[in-house]
Structure 1
Amino acid sequence: MKASSLASMILSLNAVAMGENKADVVLKNCRLVNVYSREIIPQIHVAIKKDRIAYVGKDASHTVGEKTSVIDLQDKYITPGFVDPHIHIDQYVLPSEFAKKSLLSGTTTLFADPIDIVSVCGYKGFKEFVKMTQSLPIRIYHVIPGGLPVDRKFSHARTLTKNEENKGLDIESVVGLGEVFSWTKVTTRDPHTIASISNVLKNNGIINGHTAGASDKKLNAYIASGIFSCHEPIDYDQVLERLRLGMWVMMREGSIRRDLDKILPNVLSHKTYLDRLMFCTDGVSPKDIVEYGLIDHCIRKAISVGMDPIDAITIGSKNSFEYYGMSKDLGAIAPGKLADILVFDDLEKIKPNKVFVGGKLMVAHNSLVMDIPKTVIPKWIKKTVRTGTKFGEKDFVIRSKETTAQALVIRLDTEIITKLDQEDLQVRDGNVVASPDKDVWKVAAIDRTYGTGKKTVAFLRNFGADIGAFGCTQSFHENDMIIIGSNEKDMAFVANSLTKMQGGMVVAKNGNIVSKFSLPLAGLISSLSFEKTLDEYSSIDSKLVESGCKFKNPHLIPMFLPFLALPEIRILYTGVVDVKNRIYLKILNR
Structure 2
Amino acid sequence: MRRTTRTAEDLRALAAVARGEAPADLYLAGGRVLNVYSGEVLEANVAVARGRVAYVGRRRTMVGEPTTVLDVTGRLLVPGYFDPHCHPGAMYTPVTLAEAVLPRGTVAAVADTLFPLVYADPARLEPVLQDLSRLPFHYYWFLRLHAQAPLPEEAERFAPDRLERLLHLEPVRTAGEVTRWPLLQAGDPRLTELVAAALAAGRRVEGHAPGVGWERLQALVAAGVSSDHEAITAEQALDRLRAGLYVMLRHSSLRGDLPALAAVASSARAFSGRLMLTPDGPDATFVVDHGYMDAVIRQALLAGVDPVAAYQMATLNPATYYGLDEELGGIAPGRLADLNVLVDLRDPTPERVIAGGRLVAEEGRLIAPIEAPEWVSAFPRRYAPTWRPDPSLFAPPRGAAIALHLQNAVITRRRDLTLSDGPPPGVQVLTLLAPDGRWVARALLSGFADRLGGLACTYTVGGGMAVAGDDPHDMAAAARRALELGGGVVAVEDGQVRLELPLPIGGLMSPEPLPRLAARVRELSAFLRARGYRHEDPTYTLFFLSFDSLPDLRLTALGVWDARAGRVLVPREER
How far off is 1:47 after superposition? 1.1
* Aligned residue type for 1:40: V
* Aligned residue type for 1:412: L
Name the structure 1 match of 2:403.
Answer: 409
How far off is 1:105 after superposition? 1.1
Residues of 2 paired with 1:543 and 1:152: CA distance?
30
Q: How does 1:73-472 map to 2 (within 5 A)?
A: 73-121=72-120, 123-124=122-123, 126-127=125-126, 129-130=128-129, 133-146=132-145, 148-150=146-148, 159-268=157-266, 273-373=271-371, 376-379=374-377, 381-385=379-383, 389-398=387-396, 400=398, 405-427=399-421, 433-436=422-425, 439-448=426-435, 451=436, 453-472=438-457
1:500 aligns with 2:515: no
Distance 1:94 1:584, change over 3 A: closer
Name the structure 2 match of 1:49.
Answer: 49
Instruction: Give per-residue Cα distances to partners, 1:364-388, cap 9 Å, x unaligned.
Output: 2332221222563544625112697
- For structure 2, the residue ranges without an aligned partner over 5 or more in a row are none
How far off is 1:168 after superposition? 2.0
| SS of residue paired to 1:89 | coil
Cα RMSD, aligned residues only: 2.5
Q: How does 1:499-538 map to 2 (within 5 A)?
A: 499-538=483-522
Instruction: Give per-residue Cα distances to partners, 1:529-574, cap 9 Å, x unaligned.
Output: 3232222222111111123333342233221111111100111132
* Aligned residue type for 1:35: V
- The answer to whether the 8 A contact 1:96-1:373 is kept is no
Residues of 1 paired with 2:502 and 2:128: CA distance?
19
Residues of 2 paired with 1:505 and 1:20: CA distance?
60
- The answer to whether the 8 A contact 2:254-2:537 is kept is no
Residues of 2 paired with 1:443 and 1:124: CA distance?
35
How far off is 1:215 after superposition? 3.0
Residues of 2 paired with 1:205 and 1:422: CA distance?
45
Fraction of identical pairs, as percent:
28
Instruction: Give per-residue Cα distances to partners, 1:16-51, cap 9 Å, x unaligned.
Output: 111122211111111111111111112x11111111
- The answer to whether the 8 A contact 1:230-1:247 is kept is yes
TM-score, length-scaled by structure 2: 0.93
How far off is 1:446 after superposition? 1.2
Residues of 2 paired with 1:479 and 1:103: CA distance?
31
Residues of 1 paired with 2:304 and 2:45: CA distance?
30
| More moved, 507-516 vs 128-137 | 128-137
Name the structure 1 match of 2:24.
Answer: 23
* Aligned residue type for 1:142: W
Residues of 2 paired with 1:15 and 1:292: CA distance?
42
| SS of residue paired to 1:242 | helix
TM-score, length-scaled by structure 1: 0.91
Residues of 2 paired with 1:378 and 1:201: CA distance?
31
Distance 1:255 1:243, change over 3 A: same
Residues of 1 paired with 2:325 and 2:340: CA distance?
18
Distance 1:584 1:160, change over 3 A: closer
- The answer to whether the 8 A contact 1:4-1:51 is kept is no
- The answer to whether the 8 A contact 1:149-1:155 is kept is no
Residues of 1 paired with 2:270 and 2:159: CA distance?
41
Name the structure 2 match of 1:430.
Answer: none
How far off is 1:579 after superposition? 1.1
How far off is 1:330 after superposition? 1.4
| More moved, 519-528 vs 152-161 | 152-161
Instruction: Give per-residue Cα distances to partners, 1:240-288, cap 9 Å, x unaligned.
Output: 1111122110101122222111110353378654421000111011100
- For structure 1, the residue ranges without an aligned partner over 5 or more in a row are 428-432
Distance 1:98 1:389, change over 3 A: same
- The answer to whether the 8 A contact 2:384-2:485 is kept is no
- The answer to whether the 8 A contact 2:458-2:466 is kept is yes
Instruction: Give per-residue Cα distances to partners, 1:151-205, cap 9 Å, x unaligned.
Output: 7699958633223223323433222313112111212222221121111222112
- The answer to whether the 8 A contact 1:387-1:453 is kept is no
Residues of 2 paired with 1:31 and 1:379: CA distance?
45
